[in-house]
Structure 1
């Protein structure tokens, strides 16, 4: 032996090999930090914003969850997958119960692998509703409190005052269960007409809602209903519909049943054995396949058939009701594209005065406040604004238009605006009338 410890020699040789191997490895790349932003950076409860961001160290196999105020314990605003470069964009709704002030919005990748945050300033709530009641002031006040806590300032309107109420400043109207029963709504004909002519979306509750809809001759009326009793659950008819997900993500069990009342409530359930034009079922009676206590018609009227108020709702029931209210409010906010071609009108024989009159009507319509029209409109004239490929296609068609049948297309939108008809050179011009856009 030469005095060297063979064990130490072997250990030293192993360490030398390890150092050499480590030196041969490529340098470790630092993980690029993720970033997010939100547009706009401020707004009232219930407003919509776009969260965009980038997590360069992640890609298409990764996902991101957007949280309000705190990761995991805060409000889940939604989730989406990342692009190949780690970028993403998602529309989110600011929680309706968000308090005024600065809040944090978080993006969480793969449940904890990476996070980023940005701020959002919540303004005062700017949505409003009118709740019509007859004698049950207690339930009316409970609904007012529930809506007020979720971003909708609510005014209670006694049934006898409806005919003299100006509803133009409200985003929606709720009609209480106590305002009618059977085939006769308790309000006066002028009160009914005031609601109908307001142009506002209407959420009818229980018997009162079904009775009003009877007098409005809707499909979701009293005469199309039966009355169920002791209802605590409802079947989620379409779990992908926003009424089950926005702003609150409602937990739906494997059998699609949701418990919304802690004690049994009676309900008006609309009988619909087959699809009806303009009628959208949202929630079905839990033990019957043809009756629906939560159902919409014509994009404006919605029946919440249950008799009971918030006092006997579960927390899930309250959240579903808030989702319903916000769905009704947002369903009436119409993004509208107005297309014209004034040059072509003159080419077809319309007088200059007629073209100018239509142009003025459209400009006046777009200038009306959103509370009157319920729309955000963009105007494009095909003579000036059409993309090149559209102009080329239009030019080719215009030269051979005799070979093409032109079919006027009407698109219904929710407007409180009327425009009469005009006849020029035996050509009938249909403008904007009775809440409909019609082609020229």
Structure 2
């Protein structure tokens, strides 16, 4: 009887150890591939914080980004290295771009520049880019035709796989870039519907222009999805496509 009790105890102990090991392995399982890591976004604005807050809310609610609003005059003193993405709002026009551009280059972080303010920033001489002022024209376009939607990481992330026009805004001003033929590293992402040479969404290196001045309240449902996808694309959080953009 004692021997049977001993064998039973050993079996019970073995089962308990097995359950514990299985539980530990399950709790230590890695996060599935493809889920976007948490990213802290720095959003530079010039006007009032309440005008920038809708962008913070959009990114926090739809993507889980942590967004910190940074007054433009404080950018050069901010710890930019903690951000996975830096966004400059459409109102972010300033005479202090030279110092800000130097700080951004030093931090080495990707930048998404919005509307007129972003266009102004990307045109700063020190950045040596071809997707900012004065390489564009201005109007009131509210949508784009996706470029290479079937293969583009941006459009795949937005769930759009068509080259048909996509309405992004109910109303907005815009700037469209006509890139120089000699420009290196330019990625065409979204072009104007009525003009095949101007691009409101365009990238170069780790800088991307979202050339619309409207805020989230003026975006369509598709516009909000494409904007968030553009943030992910700029921050390099999108999955590689079968074939990269050319």
TM-score by length of 1: 0.45
Per-residue deviation, 1:295: 0.3
* 1:199 to 2:112 alignment: no
Report whether the alignment pairs 1:260 with 2:142: no
* 1:421 alignment partner in structure 2: none
Which runs of no fewer than 5 residues in structure 2 stay unpaired? 1-27, 240-246
Q: Does 1:308 align with 2:214?
A: yes
Establish whether residue 294 from structure 1 lines up as the match of residue 204 from structure 2: no
Question: Are 1:138 and 2:69 an aligned pair?
Answer: no
Verify the 8 A CA contact 1:179 1:186 in the aligned structure 2.
Answer: no
Superposition RMSD in Å:
2.2
Q: What is the CA–CA distance in structure 2 between the aligned matches of 1:307 and 1:136, rounded to whole Å?
A: 16
- Provide the rounded CA distance (Å) in 2 between the counterparts of 1:275 and 1:291: 16
Q: Distance in 2 between matches of 1:210 and 1:330?
A: 21
Name which of 52, 60, 69 aligns with 1:148: 60
Deviation at 1:282, TM superposition (A): 0.3
**CA distance 1:42–1:310, change in 2 (3 Å):** farther
Whole-Å separation in 2 of the counterparts to 1:162 and 1:332: 27
* Structure (1 or 2) with the greater strand fraction: 1
Could you tell me whether the CA contact under 8 Å between 2:232 and 2:238 is conserved in 1?
no
In structure 1, the partner of 2:13 is none
Q: Secondary structure at the match of 1:291?
A: coil
CA distance in 2, matches of 1:139, 1:276: 34
- Relative to the length of structure 2, the TM-score reads 0.78
| Corresponding residue number in structure 1 for 2:160 | 250
Please give the residue correspondences for 1:54-65 in structure 2 after superposition, counting only pairs within 5 Å.
none
Q: Is the 8 A contact 1:213 1:221 kept in 2?
A: yes
Aligned length: 208
Describe the shift of the 1:238–1:135 C-alpha distance in structure 2 as closer, same or farther (beyond 3 A).
same
Instruction: Tell me, in whole angstroms, the C-alpha distance in 1 between the residues paired with 2:48 and 2:207.
Output: 22
1:54-86 CA distance string (max 9 Å, x none): xxxxxxxxxxxxxxxxxxxxxxxxxxxxxxxxx
1:290-316 CA-to-partner distances (Å, cap 9, x unmatched) read 000000002x10000000110100111
Report the secondary structure of 1:195's partner residue: helix
- CA change 1:134–1:212 in 2 (3 A) is same
1:251 CA displacement: 6.0
SS in 2 for 1:307: coil
**2-structure distance, mates of 1:310, 1:251:** 23
Residue 147 (structure 1) shift:
0.9
CA distances 1:247-303 after superposition (whole Å, capped 9, x unpaired): x31264xx62111112x21111101374732101000011100000000002x1000
Matched, 1:235 2:145: yes
Could you say which structure has the higher helix fraction? 2
How far, CA to CA, are the matches of 1:194 and 1:273 in structure 2? Answer: 26
Q: 1:277 to 1:331 in 2, by over 3 A?
A: farther
Which residue among 204, 227, 233 is the counterpart of 1:321? 227
Q: Deviations over 1:18-73 (max 9, x none)?
A: xxxxxxxxxxxxxxxxxxxxxx9554xxxx61xxxxxxxxxxxxxxxxxxxxxxxx
Name the CA shift for 1:159/1:289 in 2 (closer, same or farther; >3 Å).
Answer: same
Gaps of 5+ in 1: 1-39, 50-92, 97-124, 334-440
Q: Contact 2:131 / 2:179 at 8 angstroms: preserved in 1? A: no
Structural mapping, 1:353-368, within 5 Å: none
User: CA 1:160–1:232 in 2, change beyond 3 Å: closer, same or farther?
Assistant: same
Task: Report the structure number with the largest CA radius of gyration.
Answer: 1
Does residue 283 in structure 1 map to residue 190 in structure 2? Answer: yes
